[in-house]
Amino acid sequence: MKAEFNRELIKKYDRPGPRYTSYPPATEFNASVGPADYRRKLLESNARKTPLSLYFHIPFCEQRCLYCGCNVIVSHRRGIEEPYLNRLVREMDLVAELLDPSRKVVQLHWGGGTPNYLSPGQIKALMDEIRKRFTVDEGAELSIELDPRYLTDEQIEAIKEAGFNRVSLGVQDLDPKVQQAVGRLQPYELVKEKFSKLREAGFTSINVDLIYGLPYQTAESFKRTVERVVELGPDRVAAYSFAYIPQIKPHQKLLPAEALPDAEEKLKILQTIVESFQDAGYVYIGMDHFAKPEDELAVAQRKGELWRNFQGYTTKKGVELLGFGATSIGMLYDGYFQNYKTLREYNRAVDAGELPVFRGYLMTEDDFIRRDVIMDVMCNLGVEFRKVEERYGINFKEYFRRELEELKEMEQDGLIKLEDDRIKILPVGRLLIRNVAMVFDAHLRRKKELTFSRTI
């Protein structure tokens, strides 16, 4: 089922809303949840014996990209990463001593920042330290984010030797004028060379990240970027909407604001992205993501088994996510736990032998029910009432009487179909699944002001 682009409906429903990498969203995290709660919940999680997913935040970058909204540390000076890596190992010790060692790690991801800021030796050493403390399953999905501008042959070899089997390349845009404006020069020839070397090294799953809404972008210029990306043949593509927030990220003030595409042009760019990748044979997964039909994401969605966590869409439903490093977030079955955002606070906690958690959220029964519904909307394009009723012992139509009434307008607009036993997302609604999910968000209903990015 291809997504259909309807300009008028997108304009009608475009509003601020969560991206639902979790439910409740991270805006609900609070400081009343701390290290003691995380320790208790980690110990309790052993009884479930659920598999694990590990996330490691590597915050360092060689230079700052002017569009960046991430928590990064920019430095050309080598050596500043060593103390951080040592503390990552200490944090792993603090967590690993609370866990049943028989629990398998089935997913691992290094993000940033720029994980290939690390040297080949550091890459292999960190992975060795991880394997000493956790049981990494033989068939685990091990992924890493890469900046092609600084990716060396030696790093590619080290990444392969460390066991990584998925890589994600930050491309953003291939137009030289756009690259100049955002401070990220990387010619297509360079990207193509690194892409080819990764394929030659045996990587069969490569993702490409793009960003639309940057200065000087037009639908016509971005179509050329999409065509070149299709030529490369990545297995997955993520095309993110640029969030211009200079009041929060002051370095964005260096962008030429007058050159940002207006709302109408940005919509044209999005239409180009959706139609061009689908025409090239990619499946629109949802929320900016595309995948080849044979990719695990597309297969999982067809089976109704797709899920979302803080790393985006995943096939690893039911795993518990442990976050390591500054800003990282852990996602246990019944709670969320975020580490300190600044290195100073993170370092202080780890040096004191404390879990560096500074806020989080503990789930209620209502949260569990709504999370399942929202994740099915976001991932599997619909909700089967019976599944929710059997799991939680509720009558779906009674529990969600208000929500089903509110959805009738979306049904009239052709976004969804309300059947007697399910909700189905229709092709026109594929681009507006966040809006459908928001109807079921009890926390959002209580907010007077929304501070999220826009749904389109």
CA distances to 23, 57, 95, 198 from 98, rounded to whole Å, are 25, 21, 6, 37
200 and 313 fall within a common domain:
yes
Asked whether the beta carbons of 288 and 209 are under 8 A apart, the reply is no
d(C-alpha 20, C-alpha 125), whole Å: 34
Asked whether the beta carbons of 76 and 105 are under 8 A apart, the reply is no
Residue 121 within any structural domain of the chain: yes
- pLDDT score for 426: 97
240 and 283 fall within a common domain:
yes
151: which residues sit within 8 A by CB, 6+ positions away? 116, 194
171 and 252 fall within a common domain:
yes
104 and 233 fall within a common domain:
yes
- Which domain CATH number covers 296? 3.20.20.70
d(C-alpha 208, C-alpha 188), whole Å: 13
Element holding 275 (H helix, E strand): helix 263-279
- pLDDT score for 449: 65
399 and 298 fall within a common domain:
no
Domain boundary among 322, 356, 385: 322
> Going residue by residue through the chain (456 aa), what tens digit of pLDDT does each one get?
799 999 999 999 988 888 898 999 999 999 999 999 999 999 999 999 999 999 999 999 999 999 998 888 998 888 899 999 999 999 999 999 999 999 999 999 999 999 999 999 999 999 999 999 999 999 999 999 999 999 999 999 999 999 999 999 999 999 999 999 999 999 999 999 999 999 999 999 999 999 999 999 999 999 999 999 999 999 999 999 998 889 988 999 999 999 999 989 999 999 999 999 999 999 999 888 999 999 999 999 999 899 988 878 989 888 999 999 999 999 999 999 999 999 999 999 999 999 999 999 999 999 999 999 999 999 999 999 999 999 999 999 999 999 999 999 999 999 999 999 999 999 999 999 999 999 999 999 887 666 666 766
Q: Where are any strands of DSSP class E within 39-160? A: 52-58, 60-61, 73-74, 104-112, 135-146
Total domains present in the chain: 2
CA distances to 231, 396, 410, 456 from 421, rounded to whole Å, are 43, 9, 17, 29
77: which residues sit within 8 A by CB, 6+ positions away? none
Classify strands 289-291 and 283-286 as parallel, antiparallel or unpaired: antiparallel
d(C-alpha 217, C-alpha 214), whole Å: 6
158 and 252 fall within a common domain:
yes
State yes or no: cis peptide before 69, omega within 30 of 0. Answer: no
- pLDDT score for 451: 63
CA distances to 54, 287, 317 from 106, rounded to whole Å, are 9, 24, 11
Classify strands 320-324 and 382-384 as parallel, antiparallel or unpaired: unpaired
CA-based nearest residue to 144, from 130, 133, 134, 75: 130
- Tokens 């032998």 belong to 353
d(C-alpha 382, C-alpha 425), whole Å: 6
Residue 340 within any structural domain of the chain: no
Residue 228's CB is within 10 A of a number of other CB atoms, namely 15
Range of the domain at 383: 1-25+364-456
Residue 135 within any structural domain of the chain: yes
Asked whether the beta carbons of 108 and 142 are under 8 A apart, the reply is yes
Residue 123 within any structural domain of the chain: yes
CA angle 355/357/360 to nearest 5° reads 140
81 and 196 fall within a common domain:
yes
Residue 355 within any structural domain of the chain: no
- pLDDT score for 236: 98
Residue 351 within any structural domain of the chain: no
140 and 226 fall within a common domain:
yes
Phi, psi of 128 (to 5 degrees): -60, -40
Domain boundary among 307, 322, 337: 322
5 and 39 fall within a common domain:
no
43 and 12 fall within a common domain:
no
Residue 350 within any structural domain of the chain: no
Residue 128 within any structural domain of the chain: yes
Domain boundary among 258, 292, 322: 322
- pLDDT score for 14: 87
Residue 16's CB is within 10 A of a number of other CB atoms, namely 15
19 and 30 fall within a common domain:
no
- pLDDT score for 453: 66
User: pTM surpassing 0.85?
Assistant: yes
- Which domain CATH number covers 428? 1.10.10.920
401 and 256 fall within a common domain:
no
Classify strands 283-286 and 205-212 as parallel, antiparallel or unpaired: unpaired
Element holding 321 (H helix, E strand): strand 320-324
